[in-house]
A and B are shown apart, each in its own frame.
Chain A
Amino acid sequence: MATSATSTRARVAATLKRRHRSEFLFRAFGLAAIALSLLALATLFIDIVWRARTAFVQTTITLEVFLDESIIDPEGKRDPAELRRSDTQTPIRAALRERFPEVTNQGQRRELYALLSGSAPFLLASRLVREPELIGQRIKVDLLASDDVDMLMKGHISRDLPPEQRQINDRQIGWVDAMVAAGEVRQPFNAGFFTRGDSRDPTTAGVLGAIVGSALTLLVTLALSFPLAIAAAVYLEEFAPDNRWTYLIEININNLAAVPSIVFGLLGLAVFLNFFGLPRSAPLVGGMVLSLMTLPVIIIAARAAIAAVPPSIREAAMGVGASPVQVVFHHVVPLALPGILTGTIIGMARALGETAPLLMIGMVAFIVDTPKGFTDAASVLPVQIFLWADSPERAFVERTAAATLVLLGFLVVMNATAVYLRRRFEVRY
């Protein structure tokens, strides 16, 4: 008896060393994997932030402009619609000539005018619509510099390059330097990036249109897929008879979750646009297409959450005489809600980052105006990123990165919401 006991212990001891080693190896592998993925993530994130950082300031040039009434508003009516179209370019150019009186040559003057963004007169005109009392005065105005000056100031255009390889020549650099020395060049926070829509001119291109487009599209997606998915999940999990049809539907839902998203885009094009004649590029259609994609994701998550509700709770409710629908909606769904919400937000986050199906239904158009409704033409954040990444101007590079950062910010907010909601609705039982 004693000998067999000691030999058993010896054998256990012998295997123990091997077990400890394999455990150590397993842990080391796990740690290495986590470290690697964190490193990749950090690299990606730092790279984007680094590229995007300069997009959050914008170079302006301060000029003393005489807002000559005889040019801007010769009839003196101060009509906003007229003011918006008024000639603010002439006073701005006059101010530039005044600032650099030594420039008299026609060609050099054109180079001088090119220091300012082509959008500067429009911005001044819309300021005059808001503050018509400025007309007739001589005031200092901050005017948007051109994208080349902006890039030069941000160091994205090297002064060491041979002049023929850069967008800005030595004479222009001389003027910019003179104004920098005089404190007339500033780099304030680029609020316009968040308050303006897309533009061909990188200095005035903003993400507001895309943000609103994304929000409207996701709203449609949520409104369509959340109730539908809960209804489908509850029915399949609680009420569906156990037969071949149910089985077939279950299999198909699981398969739908794995369908490439562009297929849903093609479906949207064929059915929603061509058959039902819904408007192109509209958040309504975008949301419908995306809900096709998120529905199976939410259904699967909701079914898992519903199945995880302990049967004792159902029995308790049934035992006091709750009807099947009461059992489900008073007890099962509230208890499954954290899981359902998590699944929903994962689905919505996927929808937020989706580009391919939206290209198919025309949400890739160049849209300047911020959409005001579900049927207005709109763009969404990932498509906006795609469009800017495709633009040749150097100034769009930083904006592409900044828009990506905005998109990531939204994802972080959505995930934080998911965590919060899960905590909020979690119940112990």
Chain B
Amino acid sequence: MRTMSVADRTRSGVIAEFPDAAAGTAAKPAAFETRELSVFYGKKQALKGINLDIDKGEVTALIGPSGCGKSTYIRCLNRMNDPIPGCRIEGKVLLDGMDVYAADIDPVELRARVGMVFQKPNPFPKSVWENVAYGPRIHGLAATRAELNDIVERSLQRAALFDEVKDRLQEPGTSLSGGQQQRLCIARALAVDPDVILMDEPCSALDPIATAKIEELIDELSGNYTIVIVTHSMQQAARVSDMTAFFHLGDLVETGPTDTIFTTPRDERTEGYITGRFG
């Protein structure tokens, strides 16, 4: 709340009361709007009143030192924090103007719209095909086996994995390399046709070549999908994202276009972090 971009400041006050009216006035339509979002783990406050908009069809990078609440924030967007005992959420998270934490929202449906890719590749211990087909199957997205095959192939292609695994679709997903596993997880998320993909440090367990592949993939997916990515690599944030948000000790310190944040940060903490003076 302390430091916000100009765009944010103009939006924030209004939207809490009139989300629909505000959507029209914004420069770009927001996929997610978070208003005064606070998260507590028991007595410990992990996020302190975050106001942040995530623009539709753009890649937003969340950066900040370890423990500042990036994962906590991103997991609020698809309610992955729900099952954590003692986790309490205050404030509002709006997806296309709809309150994600409203009583009538089914988190299962929400997570079909907002897919997630995790830090460590976590394919199911099933075949490559089964991994991708699982989501569409439980949501009943395919009426026939042929349709399901189609979805699997398309998802693998979009995740730039199809050519590498087309002969091993029946092999276990866990037998792929780390980078392939992570792209399999992306394909699995894409298979349910989400609007948003959340990625929590998707490359931290990968080597530079696999990382480059994932970054390329993010680039291709942006535009069609809204992507939120948590990363510890400044270069990665600079390379893949359109917008960047800098978190520090549970506060959102600064947010804005990636170029601006990296060239002319307003807050000295942001500058200190991206130039590597603390972190």
Contacts and interface: CB of A to CB of B under 8 A. Distances in A.
Given A319-B115, A320-B134, A427 B108 contact: no
B118 A331 contact: no
Interface in B117-160: 117-118, 120, 122-125, 134-135, 138-139
A316 to B, nearest CB: 4
A319 B118 contact: yes
Nearest to A239: B83
Contact of B123 (A316, A321, A322, A324): A316
A319 B116 contact: yes
Contacts of B135: 320-321
B166 to A, nearest CB: 22
B71 to A, nearest CB: 11
Contacts of A320: 111-112, 115, 134-135, 138, 188-189, 191-192
B188 to A, nearest CB: 6
A210 B116 CA distance: 57
Contacts of A310: 122
Contacts of B118: 312, 315-316, 319
A284 to B, nearest CB: 39
A43 interface: no
A316 B125 contact: no
B185 A321 contact: no
Nearest to B78: A319
Q: Is the interface of A mostly helix, strand, loop or mixed?
A: helix
Given A321-B192, A322-B138, A429-B125, A316 B108 contact: no
A317 interface: yes
A326 B139 CA distance: 11
A242 interface: yes
Interface string A230-274: 000000000000100000000000000000000000000000000
B139 A321 contact: yes
Q: Is the interface of B mostly helix, strand, loop or mixed?
A: mixed
Contacts of B192: 320-321
Contact of B174 (A321, A330, A428): A428
A317 B135 CA distance: 8
Select the residue from A312, A317, A319, A323 with max chain B CB neighbours within 10 A: A319
B268 interface: no
Contact of B124 (A242, A321, A324, A331): A331
Select the residue from A242, A316, A331, A427 with max chain B CB neighbours within 10 A: A316
A28 interface: no
Contacts of B120: 312
Contacts of B134: 317, 320, 322, 330
B109 interface: yes
Interface string B86-111: 00000000000000000000001111
Interface of A: 242, 310, 312-313, 315-324, 326, 330-331, 335, 427-429
The 4 closest A-B pairs by CB, nearest first: A321-B112, A320-B135, A319-B116, A312-B122
Interface of B: 78, 80, 83, 85, 108-112, 115-118, 120, 122-125, 134-135, 138-139, 172, 174, 185, 188-189, 191-192
6 contacts: A313-B125, A315-B122, A316-B124, A319-B111, A427-B125, A428-B174
